[in-house]
Amino acid sequence: MPQRRGSDFAGLSVAIVTPFADGEVDYDRLKQQIEFQIEAGTRCIVPVGTTGESPTLTHDEHERVIAETIQCVAGRVKVMAGTGSNSTAEALRLTKRAANEGADATLQVAPYYNKPTQEGFFQHFKAVADAVDIPVCVYNIPGRTGKEIDVSTIQRLAELPGITMVKEATGKLDQCSAIVGTTDLTVLCGDDTLTLPMMSVGAEGVVSVAGNLVPSDLIKMVNAAAAGDYAKAQQMHHQLFALCSNMLGLATNPIPVKAAMRMVGRDTGELRLPMTPLDEASEAKLQQTILAYGLASAAAV
């Protein structure tokens, strides 16, 4: 297997939540959550992705969350800034700003809503990769964006030196296999429950939602899989499965993870419209899952 260009981002990356207090971004709590991740051993912090509620942040907030994250991290771990957009000009502006701030890489979601052709995808990502010196992670999540980036397009993108990674969130193991088998890109899983299956065919890590809660356990699973200890990795996968499944299955991300963070006393759980809290039944199910996992629920104390 060839050496993969983005392998320095292997392991656990955590797509951190953006904490709010009374409608405003809570930068003090953001720093606390970053310190929690660094102490746990997380390899890379990913601010203002889907989990960070980037669609409802203002442009100023978006840029400040990235800047505050980079300053707080201070080189101790990597920062992959979420700077994608459905407007290429906007993606360029955000990405250049993040690069100038000191981001180590950029997470570039496929342009959403306007549904470009495959050539449009290629030209969009090429424009970003040509504009900055930091590595680009192409984020393929058709359930959010309305259109999938084809494997053939990713193979074309792999020929560009600035494109080094793919965050694979199509939910298709075959898609991961095809990318790993035909390119030298590093594949990072974009669905927590599929981390081990994807790593079994050559993915090198995960950009995790559940990592907001249990980064240490996810690191154990990812490290075991990377070392070829699949008995240990399977044990961790099954231990984590219900929790990871709830994070993406009870409601749209980040509604469940924000609720879970509130339950364990690490966030207010506050969301911005149009995101709304879990309903009563889902809240009860999530609390049961958290207690069964062994996490102390502030709501139950």
Query: Annotated catalytic sites, by residue?
Result: 139, 167
Residue with tokens 């699949």: 230
Q: What gap in Å lies between CA 229 and CA 218, rounded to an integer? A: 14
Torsion angle of the four alpha carbons 283, 284, 287, 289, in this order, in degrees rounded to the nearest 10: -110
Question: 182 Cβ partners below 8 Å, 6+ apart?
Answer: 151, 155
Which of 50, 255, 63, 5 lies closest to 141 in space, CA to CA? 50
Beta-bridged to residue 188, according to DSSP, are 167, 205
Does residue 65 contact residue 34 with C-beta atoms inside 8 Å? no
The sign of the torsion formed by the CA atoms of 41, 245, 241, 298 equals positive
Q: In whole angstroms, what is the distance from residue 232 CA to residue 296 CA?
A: 24
